[in-house]
Structure 1
Amino acid sequence: MNKLKLIIRREFIAKVRNKSFIIMTFLSPLIMVAMFALVAFLMKKNDEKIKEIVYVDSSGLFTKKDFKDTKTIKYQDFTKLGLEATKKKVEAGNYYGVLYFPKQDSLEVLAKSIEFYSKESPGLNTIENIESNVNNRLRHIKMNLLGINIEKINASRIRSNIKMFNFSGEQSSKLINGLKIGVGTIAGYLLMMFVIIYGNSVMRSVIEEKTSRIIEVIVSSVKPFQLMLGKIIGNASAGLLQFFIWGVLLLILYGVGVSVLGLNASEIPSAEHIAVAQQAAKPDQIHTIIQEILKLPLVSLFFLFVFYFIGGFMLYSSLYAAVGAAVDNETDTQQFMMPIIMPLMLAMYVGAFTVINDPHGPISVIFSYIPFTSPIVMLMRVPFGVSWWEIAISMSLLFLTFLAVVWIAAKIYRVGILMYGKKPTYKDLWKWIRYSG
């Protein structure tokens, strides 16, 4: 046990004293803030650019009121000028493009013969805005031809607002469900990035010691199992410390931005902020939203996040360490990386396409039990409420699998760390696992 503590301490100190670790620990939050600020600035600048679209209507069916101007798109009527003259004027001027409606015998033919000319390829939002205006006008004309009363159709439209409750009578909201999705997704993504970054760190550490032959001296006094476990725990501790520092620095930078620079995160347009604004416009729902936020199992979420964060990292790091022991350089690791990365990617895809739509469905439940995917999938499910026995099963399987993987990885480790000059294959790894000497 004392040797294990020494190894953990050695790995931790070696990691945190590394110049690149220190620089990135304090520089990464600044880079992240700068990136968000740059994105917000570019989005703001993009919104300031107004696209003036002119239209030439030879069909006689459209007027200026049929085109709704937006913050970034404005419409002008150049019908009297004619198509060719309009195209020359637009091409020589600052207008964005020309929308042309030819004269046709039927609406169906007209709908398929509308033309748009521009100096550059239009973006998706621009085309959708044009098509939306055109389709609305053509639809109204078609309804009039069919004798349908448009006023009655518009008057018949009604929007429902379904209130959600559980069987204990507690009310929920769509905003809270979105918040739960966001919390679970961020937690799963952070875990995946943590595993990839610090798993590779464990692997490189093993390769460096193996190629420098230091490992031959170390294993003479320490069991390979202890050495591998010490490396995993030491690197995990350094990584968690770095994440903690990042969190503190980001909070400090946010506070400075709000109080000193006058920055406001709500100015950054996003679906979440739009949803919050829509909910805030309804005073009767504000109290419900606050209650739901406070009712989220924040303490449970934190401890489960820590458990699965550490458990998932330990599980995958043992695989990374085994790969590092089996090869002589990072180039040779590529053949073994895919089986390690695939479960992580699978977990993210399951979370993104299955857990979000049905967090308690059979696929979500099964993958939250499988140890190689449970750290991510279960973290995504927890905000929606998971039974204690499901969490107990998932935790037990993760812990038992970790012990089994460490045992298997240790067998590869004790043989691989002393192998030089040979590129191992999966067949070689199987032999090392079965080796009992």
Structure 2
Amino acid sequence: MNHLPLIIKREYLTKVKNKSFIIMTFLSPLIMIALIAVVAYLSQLNNDKQRTISVLDETGYLKDVFQNTDNTTYSSLNGLDLETAIALVKEKEDYGLLHIAKVDSLDDISDNIKFYSEESPSLTVISGLERRIEKRLREMKLQKDGVTLEQIEASKTSIDIAQESFEGEKSSKIDNVVKLAFGGIAGYLLFMFIIIYGNMIMRSVIEEKTSRIIEVIISSVKPIQLMMGKIIGTSLAGVTQFVIWVILGGVLMVVVSAIFGIDMMQMQTPQQEMVNQAMQAQGAQAMAENMITAISNLPIANLIVAFMFFFIGGYLLYSSLYAAIGAAVDNETDTQQFMLPILMPLILAVYVGVFTVIEDPHGTVSTVFSFIPFTSPVVMLMRIPFGVPLWQQGLSLLLLIGTFIFAVWFAAKIYRVGILMYGKKPTYKELFKWLKY
């Protein structure tokens, strides 16, 4: 008699009715949104901070360079020596003092600029000062050589190389960013899903084994049915939890932004701010057009179908191994010796995806690892946005399914013996012996 549906139902209901599961399902989004809101609020405070920077320019060359902004005010100190200027800045409690020492030539200015402050200055502030000074000195040197500002402006040229395939499909630089984002998100979701819910399956097996409930269950259910029921039931519980997280997280973000007036987009690192400035320099309209073109060029239907199959195949493959580990040991401490062989392919897949696929998605390394079943779910999902032939996707999926079937057989052998073994820490040698039973 096939008890698989009953086992799946039991596992699912046991998980979703568990108090800790319910609490963490609703508490995790609250904690995450609270952390995001706190970081956004602190970032917003930092971005709104008013700074006064005093400038002591003994050369007189850079007096027109520093223009006040919404958050930064520049105060010019003329006719003062350095010691007096520092004392004055300390007394006024200004953010800092930018000192440009008097020099004989323009070439010596760059080596005679210092910023004095009570505390370490912001990277963004220093980078902004450096950009302004560099621009002004470049213009002055060109003017010294007889080049006018009009000629300097006329000489500036923006290059944006148009990209087009031999079949006439147009693309842009932003295409690679969008493709990497889609592939990276898909691979990362699979990686996290395997880690979180694979461990949940393993703990579930260990709990039932140590409580001796498994001895009663196994008397009327085949081990492979029990193992598959645990995997599928826990997976459905995980999907339920994930959907609740997404919905609840989205609602909470909107509510927090509306009630507390916190802009989640304020969480900008100095690197992100530099990227935003570069994007603004290229033109917001052009960037928007390129983004729309990049998204329209994505094989959306292929991505959705491939994501479903590779996600399910990869998760079931690793879940069967997690279940086998749970059956082989008596407690979570003993699982550590068996976890490394499972985690290494996953970690390797992420590294190959991040450092190889983006640079050469159709290269030998990327292609080979997209066929290896233990790495293909992550690597192939990251390759597909760049355009992978359907025969390669099909072959990779067949290899993944074949390996999953073998892994289920392998895990069921260990599961059948391991769930009734107590009091002894198994070795790899003993696991291989169990396969012969």
The TM-score by the shorter chain falls in which range? 0.7 to 0.9
- Amino acid in structure 2 at the alignment position of 1:394: S
**Structural mapping, 1:2-401, within 5 Å:** 2-58=2-58, 60-105=59-104, 110-144=109-143, 151-250=150-249, 252=251, 281-282=284-285, 286=289, 290=292, 293-294=295-296, 296-401=298-403
Distance 2:287 2:432 in 1: 64
Check 1:281–1:423 CA distance in 2 against 1; reply closer, same or farther (3 A cut): same
Check 1:69–1:326 CA distance in 2 against 1; reply closer, same or farther (3 A cut): farther
Deviations 1:362-419 (A, max 9, x none): 2222222221221112212222222111110111111111122222222332333233
- Amino acid in structure 1 at the alignment position of 2:223: P
1:201 CA drift (Å)? 0.2
Check 1:423–1:84 CA distance in 2 against 1; reply closer, same or farther (3 A cut): farther
1:207 CA drift (Å)? 1.2
Matched position secondary structure for 2:313: helix
Check 1:76–1:158 CA distance in 2 against 1; reply closer, same or farther (3 A cut): same
Distance 1:122 1:273 in 2: 21
Distance 2:75 2:427 in 1: 68
1:14 CA drift (Å)? 0.7
Matched position secondary structure for 2:157: coil
1:279 CA drift (Å)? 8.5
CA contact (8 A) 1:257 1:263 kept: yes
1:205 CA drift (Å)? 0.6
Give the stretch that moved more between structures: 43-52 or 293-302.
293-302
CA contact (8 A) 2:174 2:294 kept: no
1:202 CA drift (Å)? 0.6
Distance 1:350 1:72 in 2: 43
TM-score, normalization by structure 1: 0.86
Check 1:110–1:65 CA distance in 2 against 1; reply closer, same or farther (3 A cut): closer
Give the stretch that moved more between structures: 92-101 or 25-34.
25-34
CA contact (8 A) 1:64 1:76 kept: no
Distance 1:141 1:260 in 2: 51
TM-score, normalization by structure 2: 0.86
Distance 1:273 1:305 in 2: 31
- Amino acid in structure 1 at the alignment position of 2:213: I
Check 1:274–1:5 CA distance in 2 against 1; reply closer, same or farther (3 A cut): farther
Check 1:79–1:291 CA distance in 2 against 1; reply closer, same or farther (3 A cut): closer
- Amino acid in structure 2 at the alignment position of 1:217: V
1:285 CA drift (Å)? 6.9
Distance 2:278 2:386 in 1: 19
- Amino acid in structure 2 at the alignment position of 1:231: K
Matched position secondary structure for 2:98: strand
Matched position secondary structure for 1:161: coil
1:254 CA drift (Å)? 6.4
1:55 CA drift (Å)? 2.4
Matched position secondary structure for 2:42: helix
Matched position secondary structure for 2:422: coil
RMSD: 3.3
Deviations 1:60-103 (A, max 9, x none): 15333123544444332224232112222222333111222233
Identity of aligned residues (%): 54
- Amino acid in structure 2 at the alignment position of 1:131: E
Deviations 1:327-382 (A, max 9, x none): 22212222332322222222222222222233223222222222122111221222
Distance 1:79 1:422 in 2: 82
Distance 2:298 2:259 in 1: 32
Check 1:275–1:284 CA distance in 2 against 1; reply closer, same or farther (3 A cut): closer
Distance 2:308 2:233 in 1: 16
Distance 1:168 1:263 in 2: 47
Give the stretch that moved more between structures: 194-203 or 370-379.
370-379
Check 1:297–1:276 CA distance in 2 against 1; reply closer, same or farther (3 A cut): farther
Gaps of 5+ in 1: none
Check 1:87–1:427 CA distance in 2 against 1; reply closer, same or farther (3 A cut): farther
Deviations 1:163-191 (A, max 9, x none): 33333433334444433222222111111
Distance 2:177 2:257 in 1: 25
